[in-house]
Amino acid sequence: MERRATHSGSWYRNSVIELSKELRNWLSNAELVHGPARAIIAPHAGYAYSGECAGYAYRQVSPAVVRRIFILGPSHHVRLRGCALSIAKTYKTPFYDLTVDTLINAQLEKTQQFSWMDMKTDENEHSIEMQLPFIAKIMQEYKDQFTIIPVLVGSLSPEQEAVYGDVFAPYFKDPQNLFIISSDFCHWGERFNYTYYDKTQGPIHKSIEKLDKRGMDVIESLEPAMFTDYLKKFGNTICGRHPIGVMLNAAKIIRSQGYNMGFHFLNYAQSSECHNMTDSSVSYASGSLVFEFQYD
């Protein structure tokens, strides 16, 4: 059973040659400053808007080390109270097919915390699909040596985020595993039903940037309760807030076991600058989680 690349051509370039060149340029223009990444936050909008930003996150990955890639993407089209796994055996990309890790899926299923996506839901979810070409590009030299574990993340409560953090924590600790947390940041405008504006920051787009960067600072603290409080206070429309919450809870557990880690954001962008209340924009941020050292 194969998951098709249903968004090809509408969300990124249809020509494989053009897409490959575009990805290569974004990756080469970004510096390796916070790696090797054990987890990254990367946007999932159309590449014309967020591709350059995503390149900063993927540049921190060490492909030679990675053998399993977990992709945690928020559900945009179906109501889901937990997390769901893919029934597909392979995912198509414009470059080559990616193999789904059925053994890891079986392990996760045994926790009784996961349901299964049907193929229509799987193929319609762009938060997962938009990560695939980047994955295929950075892993090209090792394309027969790694698997992927796509996970659709629903509307989780803070308590559920803690449960899934506990489930994934052992996988985060394995240096051969990479977690991709798929998320855009503030969706601002009347069409998103979100128009928070702090006029002390100047133009609307500067207020949005301040709001986002306040949230980014909280994420860098790796404290899940602080992130929950931030979301309650400001209601920022970060679509991947629940995958981020899962990552933060896994990090909290791992840090309590004597591991030192750090998360650092590397790039921030907006689809457009909002100046009027009738404008709209989506924000993007890329960051990397690294294990720095272990202490007694």
pLDDT of residue 76: 81
pLDDT of residue 240: 95
Q: Is it the case that residue 112 has pLDDT exceeding 70?
A: yes
Q: Is it the case that residue 7 has pLDDT exceeding 70?
A: no
pLDDT band at 125 (very low <50, low <70, confident <90, very high): confident
**Letter string b/e over residues 189-220, b meaning 16 or more CB atoms within 10 A of that residue's CB:** beeeebeeeeeeeeebbebbbebbeebbebbe
Report pTM. Answer: 0.94
pLDDT of residue 8: 55
Report the alpha-carbon distance of residue 291 to residue 296 in Å, rounded.
15
DSSP 66: -
pLDDT of residue 296: 41
Report the alpha-carbon distance of residue 146 to residue 200 in Å, rounded.
49
The pLDDT tens digits for 11-25 are 666 688 999 999 999
pLDDT of residue 124: 81
Q: Which residue has the higher pLDDT, 77 or 260?
A: 260
The pLDDT tens digits for 126-157 are 789 999 999 999 999 999 999 999 999 999 99
pLDDT band at 80 (very low <50, low <70, confident <90, very high): confident
Q: Is it the case that residue 269 has pLDDT exceeding 70?
A: yes
pLDDT of residue 295: 44
Q: Domain coordinates of the chain in residue numbers?
A: 2-7+34-294
DSSP 155-204: ---HHHHHHHHHHHHHHHH-TTEEEEEE----EEBGGGTB----GGGSSH
- Indicate the average pLDDT of the chain: 93
pLDDT of residue 180: 98
Q: Which residue has the higher pLDDT, 35 or 61?
A: 61
Q: Is the CATH code 3.90.1150.10 the one for domain 2-7+34-294?
A: no
Going by C-alpha positions, the residue among 173, 287, 166 that lies closest to residue 238 is 287
Q: Is it the case that residue 224 has pLDDT exceeding 70?
A: yes
